[in-house]
Amino acid sequence: MGYGTEMDGCGRFMKYSLFFTNFVIFIGGIVVTGLGVWALVDKVPWIGELVGNDLLTGAVYVLLVGGIVVAFIAFFGCVGASREVKCMLLTYFIIVFLLFVTMLIGGVLGYVFREKLLGTLDREMKSSLRLYDHRKSIRDAWDTTQSTLHCCGVNSWRDWGSFGLNVPESCCREIQPGQRFHCNAGPDTVNPSNAYVEGCINGTRIYMQQHAAVMGGAGIALACLMFFGMIFSCALFKMIE
């Protein structure tokens, strides 16, 4: 079964290389899982409602689940390398290959979203703004965006009036958590000293590009580590008698 066999220097090098690679992959899986949790806590999914695109949200969930599974499998990869069990190494290779594809897809999705965002953000944000009074999910997304990024409207607070909508309360500055200034001074008018007057488009673009770059980079980096894990597991499998 290839259990506890003596190996030459090259075989031991492959064994320890696989063990070390799996340890690094395990740490990487924990990091990617942490980044996925961070993205969810940082309310990335609500941006999907705002910009009419769920690619980044999908990437976050793919990387979150993938990171957990990768960390789990890497742990057993370390055991398989140290015990020199061929069936464990073969199983490990198949599972890691599938996870490699998953993590690569998650990473690519993050970058695809990052590039697609540039050309459609203005149009999609204005389309969602029109639906503010008709869909609760979009209303919540806009309120969260304006409160979090301290902005109002797409390009300015005047966007609300141009679409026949009242400036929402989330455009008013906070006095303290849960309490805001009254910033509506009349129809299509706000008190600039009590309201966020800058539009949300630039802040949203930067916010999403940063998150997409972090999630995409983490997924691709972990996929590269897993590629080396597959190489070392194949080499060690062939060397075990």
- pLDDT, tens digit (0-9, with 9 covering 90-100), for 91-150: 778 888 888 887 777 777 766 766 666 667 788 888 888 888 888 888 888 988 888 888
> What was the pLDDT predicted at 33?
85
146-156: average pLDDT: 88
Give the total number of structural domains in the chain.
Answer: 1
Do the domain assignments include residue 28? yes
**What whole-number distance in Å separates Cα of residue 100 and Cα of residue 107?**
11
Q: How many residues does the chain have?
A: 241
Q: Is 234:155 a contact under the CB 8 Å cutoff?
A: no
More confident residue, 2 or 103: 103
**What whole-number distance in Å separates Cα of residue 47 and Cα of residue 110?**
14
Do the domain assignments include residue 66? yes
Angle between helices 86-130 and 55-83 (to 10 degrees): 170
Do the domain assignments include residue 92? yes
Do the domain assignments include residue 155? no
Token digits for 51? 């910009």
Q: Is 69:99 a contact under the CB 8 Å cutoff?
A: yes
Do the domain assignments include residue 134? no
More confident residue, 85 or 208: 208
Do the domain assignments include residue 108? yes
Do the domain assignments include residue 60? yes
**What whole-number distance in Å separates Cα of residue 113 and Cα of residue 211?**
10
The boundaries of the domain holding residue 60 are 10-114+223-240
Q: What percent of the chain has pLDDT over 90?
A: 0
The string of DSSP letters for 85-142 reads -HHHHHHHHHHHHHHHHHHHHHHHHHHHHHHHHHHHHHHHHHHHHHTTTT-HHHHHHH
Using alpha carbons, list the distances in angstroms from residue 123 to 128, 144, 157, 225. 9, 19, 16, 39
Mean pLDDT of the chain: 76
Do the domain assignments include residue 206? no
pTM above the 0.75 mark? no
Most confidently modeled of 112-116, 117-121, 152-156, 235-239?
152-156
